[in-house]
Amino acid sequence: MQPTAFTCRAQEARQRQLATDAPLPNVRDVAFIAAAAWQKEALAAEKREAREVATRLHRIEASLERTTEDRGLSENPDRGFADRPVLRALG
């Protein structure tokens, strides 16, 4: 399982806080390196999440196009609308 961008940003902030609170210079250095690593992982997670959203939208659009095309080829194109939910404006 890959961490989300939110988790990575939280870990980055935690490591930066540890670095500022650390009395020893070597602990500070390691915490700053860890914060930089979490920052890189957050950027990768943001790209990954953006791709997932784009893929979902593409799949939804493709499925809508397929259902429209299938109805056009049917002998009874109105039959396909029976299974779709009816969206009514409330008001």
Which is nearest to 66 in space by CA: 80, 53, 52?
80
Listed in sequence order, the residues at least 6 apart from 74 whose beta carbon sits closer than 8 Å to its beta carbon are 80
Cα–Cα distance, 52 to 50 (Å, whole number): 5
Query: What is the structure's pLDDT at 31?
Result: 97
Greatest C-alpha distance within the chain: 78
Q: Select the more confidently predicted residue: 28 or 84.
A: 28
Q: Select the more confidently predicted residue: 90 or 26.
A: 26
pLDDT in tens, 12-56: 999 999 999 999 999 999 999 999 999 999 999 999 999 999 999
Query: What is the structure's pLDDT at 91?
Result: 46
Query: What is the structure's pLDDT at 63?
Result: 79
